[in-house]
Amino acid sequence: MNLTINGETQVLSAETLGALVEQLRMKPDRVAIELNREIVPRDQWPQTALHDGDRLEIVHFVGGGSGCDLHIL
C-alpha cells in the first residue's frame, strides 16, 4: 500500500501502526505518530488500521547533551 510518511511516498505492507513501527525498526518509546492529522496514542497503535493513501508524520525523540563543558570563571 502507498503511505506518505513525513512527506515521502513509500510502498509498505504494514496493516497497522504497530506493524509499521516494527517494520521500520523504530523504538516505540521514542516515537510519536500523527495519522491523517490526528495524533494516535501509543496504546492504540496495534489496532489502528492503515489504508492506502494515508498520510503519517513520525517524530523521533532523541536525547543527549550539547557536548560543551560549562566553565565558570
Cell representation of residue 65: 547533551
Asked if 35 and 3 touch (Cβ cutoff 8 Å), the reply is: no
The Cβ of residue 57 has, within 10 Å, a number of other Cβ atoms equal to 15
- Residue 71's pLDDT band, with cuts at 50, 70 and 90, is very low
- Residue 67's pLDDT band, with cuts at 50, 70 and 90, is low
Question: Which whole number is the average pLDDT over 2-13?
Answer: 97
| Protein fold of 2-60 | Ubiquitin-like (UB roll) (3.10.20)
**What does the pLDDT look like over 24-62, one tens digit per residue?**
999 999 999 999 999 999 999 999 999 999 999 999 887
Q: What is the enclosing helix (H) or strand (E) of 32? A: strand 31-35
Cell representation of residue 40: 494516535
Q: Given this model, what pLDDT does residue 73 score?
A: 43
Q: Which residue has the higher pLDDT, 10 or 65?
A: 10
Asked if 7 and 60 touch (Cβ cutoff 8 Å), the reply is: no
What is the β-pairing status of strands 55-60 and 2-5?
parallel
